[in-house]
Structure 1
Amino acid sequence: DLKPAGLEGFISSYIVAGEKAVIVEPGPSSTAGRLLSALEELSIPPAKVAYILVTHIHVDHAGASGFLLDELPEAKLAVFHRASKHMVDPAKLWESTKQVLGERVEVYGPYKPVPPGRILEVREGDSISAGSFKLEVIESPGHAYHHICYLMPSMKALFAGDAVGVRLPKADATVPTTPPPFRLDIELKTLDKLASLAPEHLCYTHFGAYPNAVEMILGYRRQLELWYSTVREMLGREASLDDMLGELERRDPVLSRFLESYPQEFIRQLIYASLTGMIWYAVREQQ
């Protein structure tokens, strides 16, 4: 639990250790120190960490990468090949991040450039070996065009990033994370693909690991279809985001649990971003 700004149960980072160690989802730079402390508590020397794996380059998932690599001399950053340039020179990425997050960006902190020689570009079908275990790269566009997941066959565990939504423990429920530019058609294909892998454990970045992975993936697929059909229906009535949120509370009972369990401003911004992505897709679908 990386606890950005003290917020518990929001960002998970996973340390997988055997002969070598791998960090899956390093999180934002503001919590890099907490992750390094976790390695020390687990008696994992910095030189034992072979890879840092990110599912995508959004700041809450990848922002700590450059800072951690300074402390982990043998590690390389595994990132989708079409997004690696933004980790080498994150200036444009950081500017767009500040525009999207506004003042909230201070919770996460900045990026730090990653030397090209410390990057491992990956794509569908690649396998990352860390001695006694390996992780397979699964392209999973939808939340972002460059999103990938990692499957660990030996544990039947899927590190899902944001591909299967946000599941926060205080609410014990999942909501979509579909910021623009969002493609529902691509996301649904991704979810079918992930379910076909038959993982047993689903490891969310937001937040935690759960059994019954396939059931949760298919449940999220149904939820996405419900939310999108509601957004498209209400878009025809020229409804506001607040109106859409109210209607979704009536149609999807888990949403109320989210709104009751977390700070209103925090959770509403998350949901409004998802609704905006669905609106973005609906408008283009109608063109």
Structure 2
Amino acid sequence: MRAGEFEPVRGVNDLYVHDTGMFETDEYGAVYVYDVERPIVIDTGTGANREALFETIDEIGIGREELAWILPTHAHLDHAGGAGYLAERYPNAEVRVPEKGVRHLVDPGALVAGTKSAVEEQWAHYAEPKPVPDDRIGGVSEGDRIDLGDRELVVRDAPGHAPHHAVYHDPDAEVVFAADAAGIYVPEVDAVTPTSPPPQFDLEQCLDDIRLIEDLGPETLCFGHFGPRECDADLIGEAKRAYVEWVERVRRKRAELDDDEAVVEHFEAASRDIDYWNPERARANMSLNVRGVLTYLDHVDDGE
């Protein structure tokens, strides 16, 4: 699948995955479209390639008056940046996002400033987000249910990646929309890679989030990047190991170099991300992940 294309999710009726082409990388940005009685879009991409997503929704057969829900998993702009544009195009759709993310979608100024500071020149791959009107958005939290007519999604808090992060569970179809809660499964290297952005990454909570997904026992795990995968014990175990080993690698390198900028530079130079991203994105992504772990380690050392 290439940028702008979509395909059915194997084993889940009426569910499609759309490739946003985020960061000029095929399959990196996954948006899910559920063509059910009350249709829903899960995550939105950055908004930069929104016209292709609109075309996908049209081709699936969901009319502009028919879309019922727009459901970002969390407020980070690679998952929620297109929410305002979707709300504008689909006038009957209600936006729902974990409670702590609502203010960021209504007034995205602070989130934009933080994202620009974090991604620097990579901001060129984002769109300036359009605010979601107050009367079109609401918060969701643990145990809430999203009514899709012939089924429902159950909201489960998963704040390890960010405090405004949730996963959504369809128990009937045995699918979990995990976003970044279980890391990123990258087909090119056949491995789970952690995602640990600053300032609120929390290793212990991330491991709890992965255990939550394990307990839900889905057959299909819909990652926020590179699309859905069959979920089994090996995948879950690999995700746990990836996070523990990643934090320990950064911890050891910090002790060795005793200079955080040198730690960041070391991991940027050693990144395998260049195998499947453009070099600029590889460096930016590695820098974010290292800085997130360093911030987490500071909190641990301070006893927080």
Aligned-partner residue type, residue 241 of structure 1: V
The alpha carbon displacement at 1:274 in A equals 1.0
1:243 aligns with 2:243: no
SS in 1 for 2:204: helix
Letter in 1 for 2:239: Y
Q: Evaluate the alpha carbon distance shift between residue 189 and residue 53 of structure 1 in structure 2; reply closer, same or farther with a 3 A threshold.
A: same
Is the aligned partner of 1:144 residue 2:167? Answer: no
Indicate which of 261, 275, 278 corresponds to 1:260.
275
Aligned AA for 2:289?
Answer: S
Q: TM-score, normalised by structure 2?
A: 0.87
Change (3 A) 1:93 1:262: closer
- Give the corresponding residue for 1:195: 214
- Structure 1 139/286 Cα, relative in aligned 2: closer, same or farther at 3 Å? same
- Segment drifting more, 261-270 vs 184-193: 261-270
State the partner residue of 1:88. 106
Task: Out of 123-132 and 180-189, give the one that drifted further.
Answer: 180-189
- The answer to whether the 8 A contact 1:170-1:262 is kept is no
Q: Is the 8 A contact 2:106 2:131 kept in 1?
A: yes
Residue 285 of structure 1 corresponds to 300
Q: Which amino acid aligns with 1:204?
A: F
Deviations 1:179-208 (A, max 9, x none): 112211221122112211111111011111
2:116–2:123: 8 Å Cα contact kept in structure 1?
A: yes
Q: 1:149 to 1:90 in 2, by over 3 A?
A: same
* Paired residue secondary structure (2:65): helix
2:5 maps to: none
Match of 1:162 among 180, 186, 210: 180
Shift of 1:245: 6.0
Distance 2:77 2:239 in 1: 24
SS in 1 for 2:40: strand
1:252 corresponds to = none
Q: Quick check: 1:22–1:53 contact (8 Å CA) kept in 2?
A: yes
- Give me the CA root mean square deviation: 1.7
Q: Does 1:61 align with 2:79?
A: yes
Distance 1:106 1:218, change over 3 A: same
Distance in 2, Cα, partners of 1:225 & 1:79: 28
In 1, Cα distance between equivalents of 2:82 and 2:244: 34
Retained in 1: the 8 A contact 2:122–2:284? no
Q: Which amino acid aligns with 1:210?
A: R
CA distance in structure 2 between the partners assigned to 1:205 and 1:269 by the alignment: 18
Deviation at 1:244, TM superposition (A): 4.5
Q: Rate the CA distance shift 1:103–1:264 in 2: closer, same or farther, 3 A.
A: closer
Shift of 1:26: 1.1
- Output the CA distance in 2 between the equivalents of 1:58 and 1:105: 13
Distance 1:137 1:216 in 2: 22
Per the TM alignment, residue 24 of structure 1 is displaced from its structure 2 partner at its CA by 0.5
Match in the other structure for 1:124? 142
Query: Which residue is 2:36 aligned to?
Result: 18
TM-score, normalised by the number of residues in structure 1 = 0.91
The one-letter code sitting in structure 2 at the alignment partner of 1:195 is E
1:286: how far off?
2.0
Which residue identity does 1:187 align to in structure 2?
C
> Aligned partner of 1:185: which letter?
E
What is the CA-CA distance between 1:99 and the residue it aligns to?
1.3
Per the TM alignment, residue 36 of structure 1 is displaced from its structure 2 partner at its CA by 0.7
Q: Structure 1 residues 5 and 163 mapped into 2: Cα distance closer, same or farther (>3 Å)?
A: closer
Q: Aligned partners of 1:168, 1:113: CA distance in 2, in Å?
A: 32
Amino acid at match of 2:298: V
